[in-house]
Structure 1
Amino acid sequence: MSDKKIHLGNLRLAAFVSPEAPLAAFIMVVVVFIPPFYAGSMGLGLSVVGLIFGLTKLWDVVTDPLFGFLSDSWHTRWGRRRPWLVASVPLMIICTYQVFSPDPPVTGLYFAVWMIVLYVGWTLASVSHISWAAELSTDYHERSRISAYKQGAGLVGGVALMLMLAMADHIPGFTETHRIELIAKILIIALPLCVLAALWAAPEPYQNTHQPRLKALDKPARVILENGPLRRLLIANLLLGIATGSIGGMFLFLVEDVLLLGDWSSFALLPWFFSGLIFLPLFMKLSNKIGKHKTLCVALIYHIFASLSFLFLPAGDAVLACIALLFLGANQAVGTYIPAAIMADVTDYDAVKTGKQRTGLYMSLLQTSSKVAAALSVGLSYPILSAIGFDASPDAHNSEDVLNGIRWILFALPGGLYLVIIGIMWRFPLDEAKQVILREQLVQMNRAGSPDPV
């Protein structure tokens, strides 16, 4: 448990976090574009897609912690994280092609199988990269900087992808199928290039291989039950993912069916993601002053008030819609980076309590909660849309009452969940002062050469 500090310059840190751009763009696309595509153009329907999406996401409850355990346990001359990151690339390329370029007619079985395998590839990439990032520094604020850069890379990836789609949408004859195929090509090209950049940019910090061996008895359920801060963070992250996922899953319905933006629908995602880039430096400064967990709460309070605009935006006004979305997207700046930065501190708490270094397992649990949330968000919001009578097929004509119902769901569902998160996280026990104490205890344990808890 070395406390050696690694500080990457801005250029190297940007290169290191660059895989987050295609990885975040991928998960955004899977939530925003894939469900409507398979429900509408591929003809599977809202209820079927919601069910499959939910069940395939829940498979990650098994695979994510299993991989986190394996990556913590498997030491190689090349490190613990880098081999898995490299191995994920060919798997994701194959599965992305299968999911994003299907040959219709498509069955529910086809969709389910390839989504499961695709999630396995994404798990290998995302858990190994986020664990590597968490281990780069032991400093409270430097961890926030690294995590914020990762969030920024994800937002840049989202903005770049949406910009390409917005331009492509104005090409005559450009269909939804063409849009999905274009996304696949972009991701397939970008991912290996960004992984190479990360391998060049940063070392893997030295890890003490003489710590207590991780055993199969380190079961996720037991780990969660024994760690109070971990339980609070995972519950908050789960609710956060459900809230943001429900917005993402209904976003195209909002801009296409409710706001009637037509060819400007993909463009409307640009201010949504660009807002995150604008607010990210502000939230980073706020985090340095009041701490990570309170910054998250402030961001959620802001969103509750800003989301009132969902209820009043007029249809057909692309300019006003983009302005509103520019302010509404502020939470894109904190939704991923703050929970990941907090989880790095939670691993210190675990290491002091147990003498074990289980960053991979802990980060995999964070990823699992996010994926379960994504499953629940679509599995919850799509049946609600179906219940109010919404028809997602391209030629459907939905009533004004149904369209207004979508507005209220977009406001009330995330807003209620955000209030619960604020109650959970406002008095989170691991602040900067506590983390400094934990690091001092870990240094003393390391110097003593004893893995026993203190």
Structure 2
Amino acid sequence: MKAKWINSPYTFALGMFAMMVPSQAFSSFYSYFYVEKLGLGIGLATLARTIFLIWDAVNNPLFGYWSDRTNTRFGRRRPWVFGAIPLFMITFILVFSPPGGLSGNGLFTWFLVTLILYEAVATVLWVNYGALFPELFRGDRIRAKASAIQQGYQVVALLIATVVAPIIYTALNFSSMAIVFASVFGIFMFICMISVKEKREPEEGKPLKLVAAFKETIKNKKFWVFNFSNSFAQTVNGLVSSIMPFYAKYVLHITEAQVSIMLAAVFISVIPLVFVWYWIIRKMDGVKAWRLSLIVYGLAVIPFWFGSNLVSGIVAGIIFGFGLAGFFVTPAIVGGRIIDEDAEKTGLRREGIYTAVSGFITRSSGLISALAFFVVGMIFGYESGDNPGPDPTSTFRYLMSIVPLCLLAIAVIISYTVKFDFSKNKRGDHDIEQKINHQL
């Protein structure tokens, strides 16, 4: 591979594209496949999901810790990713390819086992790919550029997974869909990894043992404030996407087909808008840009309150896309600085454990989203589509606008509880950034 593509933001972002295509298809359709198509009881499906989340909470920090302690001539992260590529392809296909004739406990066992295996391999990929980002890209400007490109690729992957998946499984079957998406993943993830050359920097400190590594991470106030703030913003992502069909039905009064048009407007607008945020970050400090993105994101959900038809819904969606683009791009800047500062303090590059713990905190935001749905539904009397209560319009206006606004206000407030002063390592980052920019 030509030198100009080594550690290039464009080739590195192919990894995000590769992982998001099957990951989005999995999160969107695995419950539908097992419950609706195969007849797995909703109680058993919920039990499997609960066990899945517990396993996720345990294995994330463990894989991050092991990744940080890996030291080979091929790098620390790349061996994990190369080893996980075929395993991820196999487990993803297995999730959507249960043996014929399974039902009841047999189907539940297959579902649970494949779910656990898939999640374990997916964690290895996400932790190690995520840990490479702050290592390869040093300095606010190059991180902003790499993050913007990465999120652009992610949006394209989301569109492919949500639009193409139903076409494939309707024309063929779910197993064929999984094979196609696993192949896409394998090809693009391999291209990404052969373009990565890890930096072999001498570490001043001794590797921390597991308990010591957790203690050092827990003591980092900036890390916890940053991630708890982001978790409230992340809740908005999940809440808005899950509420959108209800909002379309009860507030905008549009058809299911038109919901796709509205979602497409949001996703397509995000692609150019992430580069607008890249330009903003170049003009100001990364921490200030992150806080600004949270504020803008909060303001961007307000137009949903005034939606009444497809056109106003699309306009609100595009405005929301601007806030979403900012939240996609800016956290990578602050997260990278926190890891850099930790490395300066400990003499160790511990991207793995920070990425893993951060990922778990982010995924736990789904609990806040579920609670918000339950509470607002109780207030307005919404129970289900069969019993929507006396005022479903208000239910989903609040869930699409007022609740996200409150969550993002909390995120902004939390972001100001700690002073993010990275002045100590600013000069070092600037020197490294200049070298990287020269190479690119």
With normalisation by structure 2, the TM-score equals 0.81
Name the aligned partner's letter for residue 371 of structure 2. Answer: L
| Corresponding residue for residue 333 of structure 2 | 341
| Corresponding residue for residue 380 of structure 1 | 371
Is the 1:74–1:80 Cα contact (8 Å) retained in structure 2? yes
Structure 2 CA distance for aligned equivalents of residues 320 and 266 of structure 1? 15
| Corresponding residue for residue 448 of structure 1 | none
| Corresponding residue for residue 284 of structure 1 | 278
1:54-95: CA deviation from partner (whole Å, max 9, x where unpaired) = 552343222111111111111112111111112222232233
Q: How far 1:350 moved relative to its partner? A: 1.1
* The structure with more helix, counted as a fraction of residues: 2
| Corresponding residue for residue 438 of structure 2 | none
1:316-337: CA deviation from partner (whole Å, max 9, x where unpaired) = x3x5433432222223323344
1:31-42 matches, cutoff 5 A: 31-34=27-30
1:48-447 matches, cutoff 5 A: 53=49, 56-100=52-96, 111-164=111-164, 168=167, 174=170, 184-208=178-202, 211-220=205-214, 222-255=215-248, 259-314=253-308, 317=310, 319-374=311-366, 376-377=367-368, 379-380=370-371, 383-384=374-375, 387=378, 388-391=381-384, 396=386, 398=388, 401-402=391-392, 404-426=394-416, 429-430=419-420, 433-437=423-427
1:148-189: CA deviation from partner (whole Å, max 9, x where unpaired) = 2222221221233345368x49xxx959x96x6676345312
Q: Which runs of 5+ in 1 are unaligned?
A: 1-6, 443-454
SS in 2 for 1:144: helix
Structure 2 CA distance for aligned equivalents of residues 320 and 46 of structure 1? 36
Q: How far 1:425 moved relative to its partner? A: 2.1
Is the 1:352–1:441 Cα contact (8 Å) retained in structure 2? no
Q: How many positions carry a matched residue from both structures? A: 423
| RMSD (Å) for aligned C-alpha atoms | 3.7
Structure 2 CA distance for aligned equivalents of residues 30 and 404 of structure 1? 32
Summarize the Cα distance change of 1:32–1:338 in structure 2 as closer, same or farther, 3 Å threshold.
farther
Q: Which moved more, 1:406-415 or 1:34-43?
A: 34-43
Q: How far 1:18 moved relative to its partner? A: 0.4
1:302-326: CA deviation from partner (whole Å, max 9, x where unpaired) = 33333233334335x3x54334322
Q: How far 1:290 moved relative to its partner? A: 2.5
SS in 2 for 1:193: helix
Identical positions, percent: 21
Structure 2 CA distance for aligned equivalents of residues 192 and 8 of structure 1? 23
SS in 1 for 2:211: coil
Q: Which moved more, 1:380-389 or 1:210-219?
A: 380-389
Structure 1 CA distance for aligned equivalents of residues 423 and 227 of structure 2? 22
SS in 1 for 2:223: helix
1:397-450: CA deviation from partner (whole Å, max 9, x where unpaired) = 7456235413322223322111111112247634664441565999xxxxxxxx
Summarize the Cα distance change of 1:16–1:233 in structure 2 as closer, same or farther, 3 Å threshold.
same
Structure 1 CA distance for aligned equivalents of residues 287 and 128 of structure 2? 24
SS in 2 for 1:352: helix
Is residue 18 of structure 1 aligned with residue 14 of structure 2? yes
| Corresponding residue for residue 3 of structure 1 | none
1:86-136: CA deviation from partner (whole Å, max 9, x where unpaired) = 222223223323444567867666544433332222211111111112111
Name the aligned partner's letter for residue 275 of structure 1. Answer: S
Q: How far 1:10 moved relative to its partner? A: 10
Structure 2 CA distance for aligned equivalents of residues 407 and 43 of structure 1? 34
Structure 2 CA distance for aligned equivalents of residues 295 and 349 of structure 1? 19
Structure 2 CA distance for aligned equivalents of residues 411 and 437 of structure 1? 42
Name the aligned partner's letter for residue 82 of structure 1. Answer: R
1:185-204: CA deviation from partner (whole Å, max 9, x where unpaired) = 45312211111111232311
SS in 2 for 1:335: helix
Name the aligned partner's letter for residue 348 of structure 2. Answer: K
SS in 2 for 1:18: helix
Q: Which moved more, 1:234-243 or 1:341-350?
A: 234-243
Name the aligned partner's letter for residue 229 of structure 1. Answer: K
1:223-259: CA deviation from partner (whole Å, max 9, x where unpaired) = 2332121121121122222221222333344446764
Q: Which runs of 5+ in 2 are unaligned?
A: 433-440
Q: Which moved more, 1:34-43 or 1:353-362?
A: 34-43
Summarize the Cα distance change of 1:384–1:418 in structure 2 as closer, same or farther, 3 Å threshold.
same
